[in-house]
Structure 1
Amino acid sequence: MKIALTKQPDMKILDILRKIKNNPWVGVAVSLTLIIPSLYEILDDITVFRKEYILLFIAFPIYIKSLKKIFDDMLDAYDDLSE
């Protein structure tokens, strides 16, 4: 019984982290915080290969995936209301 009581706070933290990870608005916010500064650095001098290209390459698909999930949720909610 004592073991179960000590594991509950750990599971609560994992549950909160899972909710944050699955929230599409967090994905949009994180990807935009990577995309916008990267674009400013890239546009300063586009001929130099920088780490910002890699950040942009990683953040842009996360942004698209998060927006897709947000719009899919909106469309699903609309379909539920129309039935």
Structure 2
Amino acid sequence: MRIALIKQPEMKILSILKKIKNNPWVGIVVSLALIIPSLYEILDDVTILRKEYFLLIIAFPLYIKSLKKIFDDMLDVYDDSSE
């Protein structure tokens, strides 16, 4: 029974990774880290199809989703305090 009560190190790493994945600020930082350099490459010559277009296709929705989660959390906190 004692083995079941001890927290396994693998489970601790998994819980930390879940917290990082669910943190919207991490999503914003990662998406901006992809968006900003991609825009510099794309604006250099717009007529060439580059891999940066595909990075934008992935990073921009992540950015919007993270911002939506942050603003929804802010509105929930504001609604809870006003009641």
Following the alignment from structure 2 to structure 1, what is the Cα–Cα distance between the partners of residues 57 and 2?
A: 47
Partner of 1:47: 47
Partner of 2:32: 32
Please give the per-residue CA displacement for 1:22-50, whole angstroms capped at 9, x wherever unaligned.
Answer: 00000000000000000000000000000
Partner of 2:15: 15
Q: Does 1:74 align with 2:69?
A: no
Identity value in percent: 80
Partner of 1:65: 65
SS at match of 1:46: coil
Deviation at 1:56, TM superposition (A): 0.4
Deviation at 1:8, TM superposition (A): 1.1
Deviation at 1:61, TM superposition (A): 0.1
Q: What is the aligned residue count? A: 82
SS at match of 2:43: helix
TM-score, with structure 1 as normaliser: 0.93
- What stretches of structure 1 move > 6 A for 4+ residues in a row? none
Give structure 1 stretches of 5+ with no counterpart.
none
Give structure 2 stretches of 5+ with no counterpart.
none
RMSD between aligned alpha carbons?
A: 1.3
